């Protein structure tokens, strides 16, 4: 339920605040005072598209703020965006300015699309655009499905899920068939690549290892010279020349002398141990260097084999990757792709089998949907005709016609067309072609009264278009009845409608010759009687007009 609405710089309204309660609230005022701005502001609050023309002339932006209570049905959506309640009420805001629009829900800034998804269902606005939509086949089906209730809703939800699944499968098999030639070409390319790689049989990191080995073989002479020099420095002359003992021989002499020092001086014991350790490590290093030197043999045959192998690998890296590791990764991906492409024919068969099964199930569900709609159409037509009888259309007839489709559609096996006749003897015809503006208003109200679910908020703008007098009184009575279980807000110019309201807000305007400013205030008691008198076309200060207005209010209270 909407509890509070604030409008700032919206159209001719500079700043106004309206408080709402359960029941029926009427918004009235002179033509051009800005009554429709209340509906426009509320629409923006619910996520409708913004038009910067709504911003008050001379101002930079419009601000609309509202509070809603009883928002449990959107609690999950609020949780998804992180919105929070304020004393069990939800605060919603919308700011409109040149080039952009901003929205907030429960203290969290959200995109306008999210605003509509989260709070758009908290109120239903019936304006002039709704009257146009009332003539569309899609709206006729929606209303009929609402009348059919949860029984149809469950079947329809299952049907639509299966319908989407079948549509996706049909699209997939169509693509598979359409791209058969492209698949064949791709398979040839992939298999050629796999055969080429398979013939070479590269291994992970092979190209890097061969580069290193080739570099070593190409530099073997230089490496051998360097290794011989290092070995000579460590081990000394190969003939045992006393004058060329190498590092090992010199360290051995040092150890011998340090060992002789130890008995003479206890402080030299550590020197002997250190010298012994150096000798042992030098012997190990000399052995390792000799072993390395022994491996440095020229191998032109091996170098030639490496060169040939690298050429084979280079042929692969030119086509399938910068390195052999990338080539092997391409091979793995290509092998998986080949398996998928090879399975396409099998996939086509499996899809066609599933599509056939889904088609049978959809046909059965569609039959059930049609049956439920047929039953609901009779009940709804009778109920709406009864309501229209009370709205001074005693001869009105409606019929929801189910027109079979050539093939199953997303909502079943038929489209829905609402036929209408207002006068006795007149043939039923599409509502859009035979109903006047006033008749459309009454049909819309009758449908809403019949289909209304308790606890909703309904906003009616121009519901009394094209009607007056006794019909207006009946419209007010229907709105009051709807307001027993739902919150109803009506923007009206008819006193007969406003008289039924539990609360009445009046928009007044002032014009200084340059700027028009509108103000909103609630009227009660004598002020409300005067407003009803004004709406009836009388002099609000006339005793007769005031008496007539008071009588109308009393009659509406009934």
Picking from 516, 488, 512, 423, the residue whose alpha carbon sits closest to that of residue 37 is 516
The DSSP element (H or E) to which 520 belongs, if any, is: strand 516-523
The bridge status of strand 429-430 relative to strand 412-421 is: antiparallel
CA distance 83 to 94: 15
pLDDT at 130 over 60: no
Q: At what angle do helices 137-178 and 437-451 cross, to 10 degrees?
A: 80
Residue 8 pLDDT > 70 = yes
Backbone φ, ψ for residue 89 (5° rounding): -120, 150
pLDDT of 31 over the 80 cut: no
Least confident of 15-29, 293-307, 393-407, 519-533: 293-307
- Across 528-558, b (16+ Cβ under 10 Å) vs e yields bbbbbbbbbebebeeeebbebbbebbeebee
Q: What is the average pLDDT value for the chain, to the nearest integer?
A: 87
pLDDT at 242 over 80: no
Q: Which of the given ranges, 234-238, 388-392, 499-503, has the highest pLDDT on average? A: 499-503
Mean pLDDT score, 296-313:
82
At residue 131, does pLDDT exceed 60?
Answer: no
Q: Does the pLDDT at position 353 exceed 70? A: yes
Asked if 2 and 17 touch (Cβ cutoff 8 Å), the reply is: no
- Long-range own/partner contacts, residues 70-78 (CB < 8 A, 24 or more apart): 70/1, 70/455, 71/119, 71/122, 73/121, 74/118, 74/119, 74/121, 74/122, 77/117, 77/118, 78/105, 78/106, 78/118
Residue 68: strand, helix, or coil: strand
460 strand-pairing partners: 126, 490
Strands 61-69 and 487-491, by their bridges, are unpaired
**38-42, 261-265, 379-383: which is most confident:** 379-383
Residues paired with residue 66 on neighbouring β-strands, in sequence order: 5, 92
Residue written as tokens 């396409």? 344
Domain residue spans of the chain: 2-135+437-523, 206-322
SS3 130: helix
Q: Is 136 left (phi over 0), alpha (psi -120 to 50) or beta?
A: beta
In this predicted model, what pLDDT tens digit does every residue of 33-89 receive, in sequence order?
778 888 889 999 998 888 888 888 888 899 999 999 988 888 888 888 888 888 889
Over the stretch 505-514, which tens digit does the pLDDT of each residue have? 998 877 655 5
Q: For 188-199, what is the mean pLDDT?
A: 93
Q: How many CB atoms lie within 10 A of CB 336?
A: 10
Question: Residue 325: is its pLDDT beyond 70?
Answer: yes
Q: pLDDT tens, 218-230?
A: 767 677 777 777 8
Asked if pLDDT for residue 260 goes beyond 60, the answer is yes
Confidence at 201, pLDDT banded by 50, 70, 90: very high
Structure tokens belonging to residue 208? 């890097």
Output 531 or 295, whichever has higher pLDDT: 531
User: Cα angle at 239 between 238 and 241, to 5 degrees?
Assistant: 105
At 513 the pLDDT is: 54
User: At 332, is the pLDDT very low, low, confident or very high (cuts 50, 70, 90)?
Assistant: very high
pLDDT of residue 516: 64
- Is the distance from CB of 48 to CB of 130 less than 8 angstroms? no
Indicate the CATH number of 2-135+437-523 among 3.30.230.10, 2.60.40.10, 3.40.50.620, 3.40.50.300. 3.40.50.300
User: Model confidence at 167, in pLDDT bands (50, 70, 90)?
Assistant: very high
Q: What is the pLDDT of residues 509-532, one digit of tens each?
A: 776 555 567 788 999 999 999 999
For position 266, what pLDDT does the model report?
82
Whether 369 and 159 have beta carbons less than 8 Å apart is answered as yes
Closest CA to 444 of 142, 135, 145: 135
| Residues 447 and 418 sit within 8 Å (Cβ to Cβ) | no
pLDDT digits (tens, 9 = 90+) for 354-371: 999 999 999 999 999 999
Q: What percentage of the chain carries pLDDT values higher than 70?
A: 95
202 vs 298 pLDDT, higher one: 202
> Under a CB-based contact definition with an 8 Å cutoff, are residues 223 and 298 in contact?
no
Give the DSSP letter of residue 86.
B
First to last CA, the chain: 26
- Structure confidence at residue 514 (pLDDT): 58
Q: What is the pLDDT of residue 253?
A: 82
- Indicate the pTM of the whole model: 0.64
Would you state the pLDDT for residue 133? 59
- 7 by DSSP, 3-state: which? strand
Mean pLDDT of 454-470: 79
For position 498, what pLDDT does the model report? 94
**Residue among 5, 13, 3, 150 at smallest CA distance from 517:** 13
CB-based contacts of 41, cutoff 8 Å, min separation 6 = 5, 7, 10, 62, 64
Give me the residue label for tokens 């859009």.
Answer: 432
């Amino acid at each position: 339920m909407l509890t509070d609405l604030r409008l700032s710089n919206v159209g001719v309204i500079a700043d106004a605040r309206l408080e709402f309660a359960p029941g029926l609230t009427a918004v009235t005022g002179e033509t051009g005072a800005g009554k429709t701005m209340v509906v426009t502001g509320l629409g923006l609050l619910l996520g409708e598209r913004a038009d910067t023309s709504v911003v008050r002339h001379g101002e930079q932006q419009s601000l609309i703020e509202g509070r809603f209570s009883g928002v449990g049905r959107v609690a999950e959506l609020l949780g998804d965006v992180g919105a929070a309640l304020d004393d069990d009420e939800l605060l919603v805001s919308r700011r409109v300015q040149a080039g952009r629009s901003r929205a907030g829900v429960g203290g969290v800034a959200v995109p306008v699309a999210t605003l509509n998804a989260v709070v758009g269902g908290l109120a239903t606005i019936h304006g002039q655009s709704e009257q146009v939509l009332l003539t569309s086949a899609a709206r006729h089906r929606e209303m009929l499905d609402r009348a059919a209730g949860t029984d149809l809703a469950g079947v329809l939800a299952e049907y639509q899920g299966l319908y989407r699944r079948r549509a996706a499968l049909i699209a997939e098999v169509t693509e598979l068939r359409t791209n058969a030639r492209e698949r064949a070409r791709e398979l040839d390319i992939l298999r050629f690549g796999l055969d080429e790689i398979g013939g070479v049989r590269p291994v992970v990191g092979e190209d890097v290892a061969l580069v290193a080995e080739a570099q070593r073989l190409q530099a073997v002479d230089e490496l051998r010279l360097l290794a011989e020099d290092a070995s000579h420095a460590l081990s000394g002359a190969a003939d045992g020349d006393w004058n060329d003992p190498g590092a090992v021989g010199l360290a051995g002499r040092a150890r011998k002398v340090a060992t002789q020092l130890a008995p003479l001086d206890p402080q030299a014991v550590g020197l002997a141990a250190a010298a012994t350790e150096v000798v042992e490590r030098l012997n190990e290093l000399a052995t390792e260097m000799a072993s390395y030197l022994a491996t440095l043999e020229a191998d032109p045959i091996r170098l030639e084999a490496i060169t040939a192998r690298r050429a084979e690998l280079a042929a692969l890296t030119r086509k399938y990757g910068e390195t052999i590791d990338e080539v092997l990764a391409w091979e793995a991906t290509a092998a998986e792709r080949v398996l998928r492409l090879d399975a396409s024919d099998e996939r086509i068969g499996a899809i066609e089998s599933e599509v056939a099964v889904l088609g049978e199930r959809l046909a059965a569900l569609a039959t059930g949907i049609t049956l439920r709609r047929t039953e609901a159409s009779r009940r709804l037509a009778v109920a709406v005709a009864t309501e229209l009888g009370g709205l001074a259309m005693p001869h009105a007839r409606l019929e929801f016609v189910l027109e079979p489709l050539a093939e199953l559609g997303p909502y079943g096996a038929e489209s829905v067309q609402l036929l209408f006749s207002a006068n006795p003897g007149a043939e039923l015809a599409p509502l859009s072609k035979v109903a006047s503006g006033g008749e459309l208003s009454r049909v819309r109200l009758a449908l809403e009264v019949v289909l209304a679910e308790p606890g909703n908020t309904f906003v009616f703008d121009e519901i009394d278009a094209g009607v007056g007098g006794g019909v207006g009184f009946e419209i007010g009575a229907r709105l009051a009845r709807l307001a027993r279980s739902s919150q109803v807000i009506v923007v009206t110019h008819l006193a007969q409608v406003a008289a039924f309201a539990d609360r009445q807000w009046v928009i007044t305007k002032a014009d200084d010759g340059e700027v028009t400013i509108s103000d909103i205030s609630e009227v009660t008691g004598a002020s409300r009687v005067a407003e009803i008198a004004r709406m009836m076309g009388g002099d609000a200060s006339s005793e007769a007009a005031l008496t007539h207005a008071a009588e109308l209010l009393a009659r509406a209270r009934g």
